[in-house]
Amino acid sequence: MLSFILATTEAAHAAGEASLVQKFGIEWHYVVWQIVSFLILFAVLYKFGIKPTVAAMEERNSKIAAGLKHAEETQIRLDAAQRESAEIVRKSQVEAARIVDDARKSAKDFVDKQTHEAATKASDILAKAQQAIELEHKKMLADARTEIARLVVATTEQVLARKLSDADRAAYNETAARELANV
């Protein structure tokens, strides 16, 4: 490449452009050396400055792209987790409503059962009271009959004591006692 530049400068010099070069005071061998120096400087800067900078920028761009991709994935997972938590909350609310309904139903069944048992116990108590009243009535009637029979016997004894003998009186008493016992 250097030889090409030198050949070009010599050709330009030979073509009569010397007047332009002479007017500005340009010397081609210095221009060539400046171009060579610039190319060396450019190569060094490219190798040690531009190339690492570009590599660092590409690496940083890839990290940013990976970070963005990770952020998108995280957003997708977050959305899925929010949907899942919303579903769990909904299921929990449905379950809680079912539990409350079951509790209400159980409470109603318990109240109905207790009411039925109380009614049954009240009926039993009424039936026992009715039986006790009947027994008391029968006992009172039996006591009344016994008392009436005793009074009848006593009255009859007093009436008959004057006109009957002791043997007749004993027979009447025995007959009356048997008849009262059968009643």
Q: What is the pLDDT of residue 166?
A: 75
Closest by alpha carbon to 172, among 155, 71, 183?
155
Residues of the chain with pLDDT > 90: what percent?
Answer: 49
Total structural domains within the chain: 1
- What's the Cα-to-Cα distance from 105 to each of 60, 96, 98, 99, 108, rounded to whole Å? 66, 14, 10, 10, 5
| Strand blocks (E) in 4-43 | none
For residue 3, pLDDT over 80 is answered with: no
- The mean pLDDT of 27-38, rounded to a whole number, is 88
Of 143 and 10, the structure prediction assigns the larger pLDDT to 143
Q: What is the pLDDT of residue 178?
A: 80
SS3 103: helix
Q: What is the pLDDT of residue 142?
A: 85
Domain that holds residue 12: 2-182
Q: What is the mean pLDDT of the chain?
A: 84
- The mean pLDDT of 165-180, rounded to a whole number, is 77
For residue 19, pLDDT over 70 is answered with: no
- What's the Cα-to-Cα distance from 63 to each of 74, 76, 172, rounded to whole Å? 16, 20, 135
Q: What is the pLDDT of residue 20?
A: 62
Range from 19-28, 86-95, 120-129 carrying the lowest mean pLDDT: 19-28
d(CA 119, CA 121): 5
Number of other residues whose CB lies within 10 A of the CB of residue 61: 10
Q: What is the pLDDT of residue 58?
A: 94
> CA geometry: angle at 16 spanning 13 and 17, to 5°?
65
Q: What is the pLDDT of residue 71?
A: 93
Sign, CA torsion 156/160/161/167:
negative
pLDDT tens string 37-96: 999 999 999 999 889 999 999 999 999 999 999 999 999 999 999 999 999 999 999 999
d(CA 86, CA 78): 12
d(CA 136, CA 128): 12
Q: What is the pLDDT of residue 162?
A: 58
* Spacing of C-alpha 15 from chain mean position: 97
Residue partners of 13: CB distance under 8 A and separation at least 6: 21, 28
